[in-house]
Structure 1
Amino acid sequence: MLEFGQNTAAPATDLIKDVTEANFMADVIDASNEVPVIVDFWATWCGPCRTLGPMLEDAVTKAKGAVKMAKIDVDQNQRLAQALAQQGLPLQSIPTVVAFVKGRPVDMFQGAVPASEIDAFIKRAIEQGGGDPSGGLDDAIAAAEEMLTEGNAADAAQVFGAVIQEDPENAEAFAGMARCHLAMDDPDQAEAVLNGVPAAIAHAAPIEAVRAQVELARQAANTGPLDELRAALEADPTNLQARFDLAQALHAAGQVQDAVDELLNLFRRDREWNDGAAKAQLFTIFDALKANDPIMLNGRRKLSSMIFA
């Protein structure tokens, strides 16, 4: 009946979906690697949910594809809700709305809120996903990215700098500037750029990606010889520190898939080893990769399946 449901009509477009445990991985975790996904946790008996749901849908529709929305009925998906709660999402109170970017929750709120707060929430999600809600400077950023790809990091840095002058909170431009310094073998200057990022975009996805790249670059400087590390692991396959060290060395050598495989193996053997070091290192690698990188997509899927098993 209408008065009991949050929204009895089926979602009008692919932007808004009813999600269950069966399609959570595809429509939330995987989909959030392309654009942010706003997840509305609701229930039919929840009065504030009936107010908030349509407002969320309107705001997502107005974003014209910059975000998607997933609606999860917690009563119909209790096992999924419990698994997510065990991972740290506070789902004891609904409605709870969570923004997922690159497979991870990055922002949330609870309860019915005004439309202005919903708009601000969605704007933050778009920015954290690397989008540009205000539009405008995309062509300049694309040109700078092409320069960087072609090896002209110095000129690319100038263009990124010009974009920052026009838009001091442009996460893509700050991230591009930092990557230019990484390309010029100057991780210290890359880190200095990141340290100067405005607080409003400090946790945006492009910024977090470069932070991860800087961390991995520093790790690479301290890795041991691959042959020695492989020999140590072959001598004792239960030596988890040797497996972790090998994974770092493999990544430093450009063998990213092999590094991910070793870390997944380590996580499978002991997920709590060294305060969850394997999962943390996997997230660092995933954050450093592009949103559509198959190594990242497959690796996140495998890790999530182990976490939720």
Structure 2
Amino acid sequence: MSQETTVVTADSFMTEVVETSARVPVLVDFWAPWCGPCKQLMPILDRLAQEYGGRFRLAKVNTDEQQELAQQLGIRSLPTVVLFKDRTSVDHFVGVVPEAQIRRLLDKHLPTSSDAPLERAQALKTKGDFSGARTIIESALADDRENISYLTELAELRALDGDLESARVELERLQGIEPNHTAVKRLAAILNFSDIIAAYPDVLSLRERVGSNGNDLDLRHALAVHQLLGGDVEPALHTWLDLMRNHRSYKDDLARRSLLQAFELIGDADPIVARTRKEMARLLF
């Protein structure tokens, strides 16, 4: 279970949901082990909690174990999902609904991206203001010390600022806690590609250089690294596949090794990974 998710009981509801919602919105999932639709909904909520990077907390209430709490809150159907903000319920839905509908509910009530610590820090990081970004994340961690998204962001900022050793120490610690968290995998990829990031820190300049000299394999590889880490996955994979196809000996098969690292970051659940693996297999055999 990720650090954005909390199991809630009647004893902890006031603290973990009501009081916490004064600092950050809390989405409460009322479910039961026998409920098939609940099991359909859970992975969607888990993924959104990770993706939104600390902009809300996900709390789960097993109504079989917490029947009195469910009755007090008027829960009659499962799954029921309620959003708490500023110590009160502000929205809800019942049953399995489309992911887009859940996103609309969240976006309606959550702080805007510009208000969220992670988003503000990332905006400063993009501008090269690593010190300002660290200040924001360190302040956020003072209130939420075990937030994986904040911890990985701080380690990433240390790496970008040249402190690779402490970033690697933190990565090892976080891999022991939450090895499959998207942010932890991203940090591992960043550290594996740290030499590229250090050599080509300015992605805008890099794009211009690739545009004027598309035959420079070092520049193309560096841009693919930045695209991957920036979430622009497809062009990065296409670049490495092209390098495999036409420049297999480039730096001891670097393109193939980069693709394997990319798969770790993206995750096998994404269909693009399966498609790219098939294309790799055709190139290899």
Alignment TM-score, normalising by the size of structure 1: 0.40
